[in-house]
Amino acid sequence: MRKPIARLLLTIFVLVVLLPCFASADDASGGRPAPASPFGLNLYITGLERPRADLSKVVAAANDLGVGWSREELSWANIEPKEGRFNFAVYDDRLAMLQQQGVGVVGMLLTTPSWASGVSQEQPNWYWYPPTDPTAYGRYVEATVNHWKDRVAVWELWNEPDKAGTWQPQPNPAAYAALLWQGYQAVKRADPTAQVMLGSVYIHDRNNEGLAFLDRVVAASNDQLNFDIMGVHTFMTDRQPEDVAHDNPVQNLPYRLSIARQWLAAHGGANKPLWVTEDGESTCTGCGANGVSPQLQAERLPRQYVLAIANGADKFFYFQLKDKFNNPPSDVFGNMAIIDNNWQPKPAYYAYKAMTGVLGGATFVGPGPLLRPQPDRWQQAYDRYEYIFRRGDAIIHVLWQREDVPTAPADVTLSLPNVQVIASDGSAIAATAQGGRIHLNLSASPIYVIEQPNPLPTGESLDPAADPASPSGLRVSSRFQSFWAKYGGLPTFGYAISSERYEQSASDGKSYIVQWFERARFEWHPELLGSDNAVELGLLGRQVTVGRNFPAVASFQSTPSTVYFAATGHSLSGRFLQYWQTTGGLTLFGYPISEPLTEAVSDGKSYTVQYFERARFEYHPENQPPYDVLLGLLGRQLYKP
Describe the crossing of helices 294-310 and 347-359 by its angle, rounded to 10 degrees: 30
Alpha carbon distance 21, 84 (integer Å):
14
Nearest to 476 by CA among 488, 487, 490: 490
pTM above 0.85, yes or no: no
CB 628 within 8 A of CB 621: yes
- State the pLDDT confidence band at 12, using cuts at 50, 70 and 90: very low
CB 24 within 8 A of CB 83: no
| % of the chain beyond a pLDDT of 90 | 71
Out of 13-22, 508-517, 532-541, 551-560, least confident range: 13-22
- State the pLDDT confidence band at 16, using cuts at 50, 70 and 90: very low
Tell me the sheet residues that pair with 388: 366, 397
Q: What angle do CA 5, 8, 13 make, to 5 degrees?
A: 165
**3-class DSSP state for residue 585?**
helix
**The predicted structure's pLDDT at residue 8:** 36
Alpha carbon distance 39, 389 (integer Å):
15
Half-sphere exposure of 438 (CA within 13 A, CB side): 23
DSSP helix, strand, coil percent of the chain (3-state; round to 5) = 30, 25, 45
Whether residue 17 is predicted with pLDDT greater than 50 in this model: the reply is no
Provide the sign of the torsion angle of the four alpha carbons 515, 519, 523, 524, taken in this order.
negative
Residue that wins the pLDDT comparison between 222 and 100: 222
> 35-361 and 365-452: same fold?
no
Alpha carbon distance 97, 435 (integer Å):
50
**3-class DSSP state for residue 569?**
coil
- In Å, what is the CA distance from 183 to each residue of 86, 140, 219? 17, 9, 18
Q: What angle do CA 211, 214, 218 make, to 5 degrees?
A: 140
**The predicted structure's pLDDT at residue 463:** 87
- State the pLDDT confidence band at 380, using cuts at 50, 70 and 90: confident
Listed in sequence order, the residues at least 6 apart from 181 whose beta carbon sits closer than 8 Å to its beta carbon are 134, 221, 226
Listed in sequence order, the residues at least 6 apart from 331 whose beta carbon sits closer than 8 Å to its beta carbon are 4, 284, 287, 323
Alpha carbon distance 394, 496 (integer Å):
31
Alpha carbon distance 39, 21 (integer Å):
35
Bridge-based pairing state of the strands 381-391 and 372-374: antiparallel
Q: Which amino acid is at 591?
A: Y
- In Å, what is the CA distance from 171 to each residue of 165, 166, 177, 327? 9, 8, 11, 27
Whether residue 126 is predicted with pLDDT greater than 90 in this model: the reply is yes
At 309-336, the pLDDT tens digits run 999 999 999 999 999 999 999 999 999 9
Nearest to 3 by CA among 343, 237, 315, 176: 237
Alpha carbon distance 72, 47 (integer Å):
8
How far is C-alpha 436 from the geometric centre of its chain's CA atoms?
35
Radius of gyration of the chain (CA): 27
At 396-432, the pLDDT tens digits run 999 999 999 999 999 999 988 889 999 999 999 998 8
- State the pLDDT confidence band at 11, using cuts at 50, 70 and 90: very low
In eight-state DSSP terms, residue 404 is T
CATH code of the region 365-452: 2.60.40.1180
Helix (H) or strand (E) holding 356: helix 347-359
Tell me the sheet residues that pair with 397: 388, 449
Alpha carbon distance 563, 556 (integer Å):
9
End-to-end CA distance of the chain: 49
> To the nearest whole number, what is the mean pLDDT of the chain?
89
Whether residue 24 is predicted with pLDDT greater than 50 in this model: the reply is no
Listed in sequence order, the residues at least 6 apart from 595 whose beta carbon sits closer than 8 Å to its beta carbon are 550, 553, 570, 571, 610
In eight-state DSSP terms, residue 199 is P
Q: Which amino acid is at 175?
A: A
Alpha carbon distance 11, 421 (integer Å):
48
CB 183 within 8 A of CB 157: yes
Whether residue 205 is predicted with pLDDT greater than 50 in this model: the reply is yes
CB 539 within 8 A of CB 616: no
Whether residue 3 is predicted with pLDDT greater than 60 in this model: the reply is no
Out of 116-125, 260-269, 523-532, 535-544, least confident range: 523-532
Half-sphere exposure of 416 (CA within 13 A, CB side): 17
Nearest to 425 by CA among 614, 516, 295, 605: 295
Nearest to 568 by CA among 544, 588, 541: 541
Neighbours of 443 (CB within 10 A): 18
Residue that wins the pLDDT comparison between 80 and 600: 80
CATH top-level class of 35-361: alpha beta
Alpha carbon distance 337, 426 (integer Å):
19
Residue ranges per structural domain of the chain: 35-361, 365-452, 459-538, 562-638
Nearest to 277 by CA among 318, 235, 332: 318
